[in-house]
Structures are given as structure tokens and as C-alpha cells.
Chains A and B, each alone.
Chain A
Amino acid sequence: MTQDNTNLSQDPEFAELDALFARAATTEPVLHDENFTKIVVNRLPINPSRAQRKAISFDVVGVIIGVIAAYFMFDFGQFWAVIVDLIPEYTLSIDVSQLIVMGAISLFGFTGLAGWFAMRD
């Protein structure tokens, strides 16, 4: 048992307060009412939309597959060459290891985002 499970009776400073709450706890009324249940049941939606989580999961899977496919199919070398050509009077060199690092960062970013979407309540 964790230490935070404070034993209420061990703290004399609050003995009176704790006793008051303890008495309330032991005499808690049973608030059961059929009419109350009926009101709740009558207000329940007939078809609650519960497919959202599943739909998000499919979206997430699609995004991950898309990112992976793009990573392997896309010619980053040519892409950067075109970008570099667009910049006048500047030359930019980038090697394969840098491309891999950037690709990995992008992948982790997308996966993290997708994971967050999947896990959020």
C-alpha cells in the first residue's frame, strides 16, 4: 500500500472533522428512485455514435502507410535538386545520411501525431 493512503484516525488535529465525515459516510442515504431511472432512460439516445474511435484508427493506419510508402517511393535527391535549382546564387549540398535523418524525424513526427489522435479520449 502506498504511503499516501493516509489513515484518517492518526491525525488528531482533524479528528473532529474526520469523525463528522465518517458519520456521514456510514449514514449515507440510499437515493434509489425508479422514476429517476425512467427519466434517464427516456433521455438516452437511441443510436449513440460509437464508431468514431474505429474511424480514427483507420485514418491513423492510412496516414502511417502513406508516410512509409512516400518515404520509400519518393526521390528526395531529385526533389532537393529541384528546390536547390529554384534558389538563385546559392548552392546547397545534402547527403544521403542527412536525408535519412530528416526522413526519420518526419516519420516520428507523423507517427507521434497519429498516436496522439488514436489514444486521446
Chain B
Amino acid sequence: MQNLDDSLLIELAVGNNDQRAYTELVNRHQSALRYSMRQLTDWNEALADDLTQDALIQAFKELHRFRGQAKFSSWLYRIGYNTFLQYVRKKQLNTEPIEDQPLQDQHAEQAMSESEDSALHKKVAKLLAMLDPERRSVLHLFLHRQHTQQEISDIMGIPLGTVKTHINRGRQALQSGLQGWQEQAI
């Protein structure tokens, strides 16, 4: 199974209802999706994992609809993003204001026991949490996954113009937030 490419595994999972093939797909793609979900949920690990599991199960049910026009990982991300949106709508968990305390102070105790990298990822997630869910996802795909604007438009199913607006305004908001934190930390 480990030698087969994604398209073949999908064929096996759909045509033969082969759960081993889908297990291999889960093994391959869980890390990226779990990380993206953490970035979208302000690094709430438990919530991110729950959403990832729901997304992977939904993807299994919808696997016959995957046409291979996009990468499987992009298709999977879209399902993950939609799962996240459904959660946000249900819980009304929307944007978070920029908090007064600098990030370094808020997580001072945690930071002591965490690696520098871990703190970095949480910091990025904290920054993204200032944005509304759609803009958050666009900025994650653009700045972290380094997709083109057209690719983001295709993945998220939103117009290219909207993607451009999100990127322009989102980057400005994130830059301001970052500078605000740094000024407060001094």
C-alpha cells in the first residue's frame, strides 16, 4: 500500500471499498490537515483533531466525488475547512480581538516548557485567530502553504477577487497585530 500513489489508493477505496487503502491515505495526509486545523482553531489541539477526524470521515463518504482535477491534499483541505466553518457557525466561535497582553506574557509559563518551534506555531495561530474564518484560511494557504491566489480560489471555491482582498487586508491586519505585540513586549 505504501508504494501506491494517491489516485490508485482512492480507486481501491472507492471501487473495492478497501479500508486499508483509505487508512494509508489517512496516514499520509493526517499531519498536514491536523496542522492546518490547529492554525485555524488558534492551536486548540483537541478541537483541531476532532475536526480533522470529522473531515477525514466525511472525505471517505465523499471519495467517489473526487475527480482528480486537484491534488487530493487540496480536496481534503477544503473538506476540513468546511468542517471548521460548520463548527464556527454552530458555536459562533468567530474572530478574537487582539488581546492587550503581549503573547510572550500570556504564555510565559507554557513557553518555559515548550520548544521554541512550538511557541512559534502557536504565535502564528494566535495571529491568524484575529481574522475571520475565511480570511484566516486564505492567509494560511497563502503564507504557510504558499499556494497561488488562483489555487486558493479553487481550493476554497471563492472568487479570485475575494482571495486578493483577503490577502491584502489580512496581511495588513497580521502585520499590525505583530507590531502591536512587539511594542507591548518592549
8 Å CB interface, A3-32 against B = 4-6, 8, 13-14, 16-18, 20-21, 23-25, 27-32
> B163-184 toward A: CB 8 Å interface, digit per residue (1/0)?
0100100010011001000000
A30 cross-chain contacts in B, Cβ below 8 A: 31
- Which one, A21, A39, A44, contacts B144 given CB within 8 A? A21
Q: How many residues of A contact B (CB 8 A)?
A: 37
Tell which of B19, B23, B178 touches A17, judged by Cβ atoms closer than 8 Å: B178
Q: Give B3-30 interface residues, CB cut-off 8 Å to A.
A: 14, 17, 19, 22-23, 26-27, 30
Is B108 on the interface with A (CB-CB < 8 A)?
A: no
B143 to A, closest residue via Cβ? A21
Instruction: Report the minimum CB–CB distance from B78 to chain A (whole Å).
Output: 11
Taking the nearest CB of chain B, how far is it from the CB of A8, in angstroms? 7
B52-60, B84-92, B94-102, B130-138: which lies at the A interface?
A: B52-60
Asked whether, in the complex, the Cβ of A41 is within 8 Å of the Cβ of B23, the reply is yes
Instruction: Tell me the count of chain B residues lying within 8 A, CB to CB, of chain A.
Output: 42
Q: How many interface contacts (CB-CB < 8 Å) are there between A and B?
A: 105
Inter-subunit contact B61/A48 (CB<8 Å): yes
B60: chain A residues at CB < 8 Å are 44-45, 48
B47: which A residues are within 8 A, CB to CB? none
Identify which of A2, A20, A24, A121 contacts B148 (C-beta below 8 A).
A2
> Is B19 touching A24 in the complex (CB atoms < 8 A)?
no
A78 at the interface (CB under 8 A from B): no
Is the CB of A47 closer than 8 A to any CB of chain B? Answer: yes
Which residues of chain B come closer than 8 Å to A53, judged between CB atoms? 64-65
Known contacts: A4-B148, A30-B31. The answer to whether A40 contacts B26 by CB under 8 A is: yes
**Distance in angstroms between the alpha carbons of A115 and B26 in the assembled complex:** 33
With A4-B149, A24-B120 known as contacts, the answer to whether A33 contacts B53 (CB < 8 A) is: no
